[in-house]
Amino acid sequence: MDPEKEFPIQRVIDEDGNLVGDRSGVTDEELLRFYRSLVTLRALDQRAWNLQRQGRIGTYPPYSGQEATQVGVVAALGPEDWICGSYRDWAALVYRGVPMSFPLLNSMGHPISGRMPEAVPALPVQVVIAAQTLHAVGLAWAEKLQGQNRLAVTFFGDGATSQGDFHEALNLASVVQAPVLFVSQNNRWAISVPVSRQMHSPTIAQRAIAYNIEGVRVDGNDIIAVYQTARQLAARIRAGGGPALVEAVTYRLGAHTTADDPTRYRATEEEERLSYGEPVARLARFLERQKLIDDDAKHQIEEEAKAEVEKAVQEAESYPKAPPETVFDHVYGELTPALSAQRQAFMRRLAEGGGARG
C-alpha cells in the first residue's frame, strides 16, 4: 500500500490562491464570512501574544496557522454537535460562540474560562494531551444511546496521536460505532519534536485502517477543502456510518507557547517555505483572484477585527478577578484537613500583607 496514494491530500485552492479543485456547495457569501472570521481570529491570537509579552496575561498557546482547520470543521457542524478541544483550539471555540475574551481570561488563570456558556455545546479546553479524544467518544456514545442525532468533534495535534488515549479512543469509537469526528491538526511539530521522529507511518490518516474507520487527509490551510471534507464526513457519521479520522496537514506558524523559542529547533528556511501557504493569506489571494475582495475591503475587515479584539481585551481586563483563596475551592466537596490548614496559612499570609505570590 502506498499511503500517499491511498490517502491523497484533498485540496481546492493552492498556496497561490488558484482554484485547483471543485468549490461547489460553498457560496461567495460563505467565503467572505470565512475570511472575516479568519482575520478576526488571527488578530485575536496576535494580540494575545503581545499581551503576554507585556505581562498582562500568563502563558499563551498561539494557534496561528491552524484557523482554517478549526473554523472549516466547526462551520460544517450542526448547532447541537459537541466540540472537545485542546488548549490550542480557541479559534474553534470562539467561532462556535464562546466569548472572545475567554482565551485571554484562560491565560489570566480566571476560572470562568473553564465554564463554557450553556448555549455552546463544548467542553472546557483540555491540557492533558489526547485526553479530549476520550471525552468526545463518551459524549458521542451517550448521545447515540439516548437516540440523539448529535455527533462530537475532537481536535488534537500530531503529537497526540502518539499517546495511548488517542488509540483507546479510536478503538472504542470503532467498536461501539460512536458518532465522532477525530480531527488531527498535523502542524508538523509536537513542541520541538518533528513528525518524522514521532512515528514511522507516512500519514496519520492511515492509522484509521487499524480501527476499520474512515480516514481522510486534507490541506488544513485550505478552508474550502476542510469545510467540504468535514461536511461530507459529518453527514456520513450522522447517517450511521461510524467514526472518522481526518488528518489536516497544516503548519504551526509560531511558537508552541509564549514560553517556547522555535528558533532553537526549526530552520528559518522551513518557516519561510511553509508559512507562505498559511490560511489567511491563501484565502485572501483566492478572493482577490475571484474579484470578491480588494485592498480597501481587506483594510476595512482588518480594522473591524482590531476593534472587536480590543473590545474583548477590555472585557477580559475588566472582569472581576477571582479571590486568590479560590484555588482551594471546588477541588473537593469538603476540604481535606491538610488543604484546610494550607488555606488558613495562606489567608494569614495575605492578611499580613505577604501577597499571593509570597
What residues pair up with 186 in beta bridges, in sequence order?
249
The whole-angstrom distance between residue 76's C-alpha and the CA centroid of its chain comes to: 15
CB count in 10 Å sphere of residue 17: 17
CA 141 to CA 311: how far, in whole Å? 39
Asked if residue 57 lies in contact with residue 48, where contact means CB atoms within 8 angstroms, the answer is yes
Report the candidate in 30, 47, 104, 42 with the shortest Cα–Cα distance to residue 67.
Answer: 42
Among residues 212, 330, 227, the alpha carbon closest in space to that of 343 is found at 330
Report which of 154, 149, 117, 151 is spatially closest to residue 134, judged by C-alpha positions. 154
Contact 243, 208 (CB under 8 A): no
Catalytic residue numbers, as ranges = 252, 256, 265
